[in-house]
Amino acid sequence: MVFQSPEKILDHIVATRAAFDKKEAGSREALIDYSRALIASLEIPSEFVQRTFWAEPAQSAIIRMAVDVKLFQYLQEAGTEGLSPSDLSQKTGVDVTLLQRLARHLVAMNVLTFHDGVFLATTLSNGLATENYQQSICFCYDASRPSFNAFPGHFRQNGYKSPALSGTDGPFQTAHATELPFFDWLVATPPHLEHFGSFMASYRHGKPDWHEFYPVKERMIEGFDLSSNETLLVDVGGGRGHDVVTFVVRHKSHPGKVVLQDREPVIASVNVGATGQIFEAQAHDFFTPQPIQGARAYFLHSILHDWGDDESIKIIENIVPALKKGYSRVLFNEIVVNDENPTLAATSMDMMMLAHLNVRERTESEWRNLLAEGGLQVIKIHTYPGVAESVIEAELA
């Protein structure tokens, strides 16, 4: 976003108000972006430093403590009556003087409110009280934050070079004093794997799914040839099936089969019968040739962003021989970073990838070059207002 004066940003906010009142897609996110831009245009350096290095780190530390003492849950249960400092202290076990100081900072940061002598929950704090977000907070504070704190020392030591793609020499390894790759470390250090799973489940909560803005009917269902192949959609590396379930629920009358693929241990944990047999499950490693030939669409959700270019090309090359020219499509549900107007959601995830996996989110030109090297050409990049991830639609070159 080009830097603008406060007056200009306020004009944008006023203009966006009408769209927000009409609940237009992307208007809420636009208001948040403009609000951040407004703060940046108004803050003086001393205020910026205080907020960035005092207020926000303290807020995240207090919220992490709140998970341990169930602070948000107690306030949620209290409802509109709230809890006095002494009552909240008794419930949480936190000394009343310390609790007042900690909770007061959350009031200043608009996480809680305080009125008539009682602390009160907010819509935000009630959302944070749910189990998925409680575990997400633990993951972000215990696993991710140390990795970001390691940036200065790690990159100073390695001469400010991009980390190698081995997955074992990045800020994460420096921060946690380990030689293990990120995912191996999660498995070896419970309960981090469980917390990471909750974080991933919460990451896109409240955002439209890919098939809500990709034209499924026009680009996938129309032209489907049952006589050529009975498979409509293959979800490659789809985990336990979140995407295929939401796809089938939304497109109940779809023709053909929907197939979920992942590694054997993952597929073994999927109870297809519990889903009413709405999709099939197949063990498959995407570093081996794709076994389903000539399907209408092959879908990969946030797969390639976990890998460097060499590995990503191998994944693509294992799909290419299965494609039917002019018919099969490959759909990559991925972040496409905009050079001129990068979104906070895109750059935050890019920093996550840099910190933990030594890889990166890609720009449009990088995506086009990568897919071309693997034998594909981009047909169109489908986007939706306020959604970080796009759908990159590709076919055989």
Residues with catalytic roles: 305
Please choose, from the candidates 295, 292, 290, the residue with its C-alpha nearest in 3D space to the C-alpha of residue 374.
290
Copy the structure tokens of residue 207. 């955002």
Letter for the amino acid at 200?
Answer: M
CA distance 337 to 346: 6
* b/e per residue 338-377 (b: at least 16 CB within 10 A): eeeebbebbeebbbbbbbbbbbbbbbeeebbebbeebbbe
Copy the structure tokens of residue 26. 């992307």
Please choose, from the candidates 247, 256, 249, the residue with its C-alpha nearest in 3D space to the C-alpha of residue 222.
256
Residue 162 three-state SS: coil
Residue 151 three-state SS: helix
Bridge partners, 389 (sequence order) = 335
DSSP-derived secondary structure for 26-80: THHHHHHHHHHHHHHHH--HHHHHHIIIIIHHHHHHHHHHHHHHTHHHHHHHHGG
CA distance 228 to 216: 19
CA distance 167 to 397: 31
